[in-house]
Amino acid sequence: MKKVLLSFIFAFLSSMTFAQTTWEVDPMHSSVNFNIKHMGISFVQGRFDKFYGKVTTQEKNLDNADFEFGVAVGSINTGVDMRDKHLLSADFFDVAQYSDMSFKSASISKDKNNNYILKGTLKIKDVAKEISVPVTFGGIAKNQKGKEVMGFQTKFTINRLDYGIKYDPTGAGVGKDVDVNLYFELQKQ
């Protein structure tokens, strides 16, 4: 009887140790932003208004977490309709053919300063490239409705030419490097 009881307790504790928790993006408290140099003298800022994603964790932090995110390219918003329409054309994102951008993680680890380094595949248009980005974990708290929420952010730079966005390849009018700033709050499911 003791062996059966001990086996049950061990199995229960093991399942709790490896229990996975899914967190889904709360779009009301998250944002996907970018800025890019214009004419070499100023910057154009923008955002994507529609995005989705989830993080699957095994602990109350990002250790061993899996990340999956997507952005609806058609939701680009720079505040200028004519520019947004041009960005959706084949010159840039070609939204008629490629409606989403996506990211899928491969690994996450802590650096020497106890910050996270997230590695995975970023796909824009028909180009998928491995990237590595820093992640600042904000922690876990309860929102006003008593639900657990998690927060994190990341800032990184990509070269748009690497992803087939070849308009103005010299970068004289539209810069080559795009600064990306992501701020996510996710709700426990």
- Residues 149-180: pLDDT tens digits? 999 999 999 999 999 999 999 999 999 999 99
pLDDT at 90: 97
What pLDDT score was predicted for residue 113? 82
Residues 20-188, CATH architecture = Beta Barrel (2.40)
Quickly list DSSP for 86-121. Answer: HHHSTTTT-TTT--EEEEEEEEEEE-TTS-EEEEEE
Q: Note the pTM of the prediction, 2 decimals.
A: 0.87
Q: What are phi and psi of 115, to 5 degrees?
A: -95, 165
Rg (CA), the chain: 20
Q: List Cα–Cα distances, 83 to 34, 42, 43, 44, 87, in angstroms.
A: 14, 16, 14, 10, 6
Low-confidence ranges of the chain (pLDDT < 50): 4-17
Would you kindly state where each structural domain of the chain is located, as residue ranges?
20-188
